Amino acid sequence: MPVSQNIKVAVDAVVFGYTSKEGLSVLLIKRDIEPFKDMWALPGGLVGDEESLEDAVHRELKEETGISITYLEQLYSFGKPGRDPRNRVISITYYGLVKPDAFEVCADTDAGDAAWFNIKNLPLLAFDHPEIIETAWKRLQSKILYEPIGFELLDEKFPFSELEKLYVAVLDRPIDRRNFKKKITQFGFLDETDEKQTLGGAGRPGNLYRFNVKKYFRLKKAGINFEI
């Protein structure tokens, strides 16, 4: 057993945002130091000695991108020697979800060195970050099928078609509209409001729905299991 150790511990976050216009997107920052200077990378950094891993993620996201996320979950720990050319660094990675307003604000400003990229059109990335994003996307794809986390990527009220388009973007495959609506509504945790979509451009406006968290937890306790 090694008696002393020289390994650094970092966190990195794959933050997903979504709008039907921009599609499923990932938040990246432009590195301003070597190595990989001027390349894009995941937000992240070293963990403080007295700081929890989740706190470190939130702190780094605020420092580097100014964003606050509504959902955070641990993804995987990457620790191969050599993945950082300087030192041995173990990165404990997380993935997070943000609501469209946070997504759009950041996308607009574009100032500084943070930007959103569509998941299917990523730039060259530093370190092993392509692998991390790939892992995160797969995890999101499987998780969205058995937990209603998709709502963390939508506004409080949303037309049903937004939810469907979100699933199409995340799963990267077509979905049958009628079957999808049947499945989702049958669970009973979506409230239909009496409002309709405004600002819709052309086409018939859709009713707005709201995810009812209380109902969801009640149903979950009662033993339903969400599965798409």
Partner DNA sequence: GCAAAAGTGTTTAATCTACACCCATGT
Partner DNA sequence: ACATGGGTGTAGATTAAACACTTTTGC
What is the contact surface with DNA in residues (CB under 7 A)? Answer: 159-161, 176-179, 181-183, 196-197, 200-207, 227
In angstroms and rounded to an integer, the radius of gyration of the C-alpha atoms of the chain is: 19
Q: Is 63 in the site for its own copies (CB under 8 A)?
A: yes
* Number of chain positions touching its own copies (CB under 8 A): 27
Q: Where in 164-203 is the site for its own copies (CB under 8 A)?
A: none
Q: Which is nearer to its own copies, 94 or 160 (CB)?
A: 94
How far is it, in rounded angstroms, from Cα 228 to Cα 185? 11
Task: Give min distance, CB of 194 to its own copies, in A.
Answer: 40
| Residue 152 binding partner per list its own copies, DNA, none, with a CB distance cut-off of 5 to 8 Å that depends on partner kind | none
How far is it, in rounded angstroms, from Cα 80 to Cα 205? 51
> Which two three-digit tokens encode residue 71?
């959902």
Task: Give min distance, CB of 110 to DNA, in A.
Answer: 26
How far is it, in rounded angstroms, from Cα 1 to Cα 4? 9
| Residue 117 binding partner per list its own copies, DNA, none, with a CB distance cut-off of 5 to 8 Å that depends on partner kind | none
Residue 103's contacts (CB-CB under 8 Å, 6 or more residues apart) are 17, 18, 19, 22, 25, 116
φ, ψ for residue 124 (rounded to 5)?
-65, 135
> Which two three-digit tokens encode residue 5?
């150790």
Q: Which is nearer to DNA, 80 or 178 (CB)?
A: 178
Residue window 32-51: x/- pattern of binding to its own copies, with contact defined by CB under 8 A: -------------xxxxxxx
Task: Give min distance, CB of 177 to DNA, in A.
Answer: 5
| Residue 176 binding partner per list DNA, its own copies, none, with a CB distance cut-off of 5 to 8 Å that depends on partner kind | DNA
Q: Where in 79-108 is the site for its own copies (CB under 8 A)?
A: 79-81, 88, 90, 92
Residue 83's contacts (CB-CB under 8 Å, 6 or more residues apart) are 89, 91, 127, 128
How far is it, in rounded angstroms, from Cα 56 to Cα 24? 25
Q: Is 6 in the site for its own copies (CB under 8 A)?
A: yes
| Residue 50 binding partner per list its own copies, DNA, none, with a CB distance cut-off of 5 to 8 Å that depends on partner kind | its own copies
How far is it, in rounded angstroms, from Cα 214 to Cα 193? 16
Q: Which is nearer to DNA, 34 or 194 (CB)?
A: 194
Q: Where are the alpha helices (DSSP H) in 157-227?
A: 160-171, 177-187, 213-221
Which residues of this chain interact with its own copies, rule CB under 8 A? 1-2, 5-9, 45-53, 60, 63, 74, 76-77, 79-81, 88, 90, 92
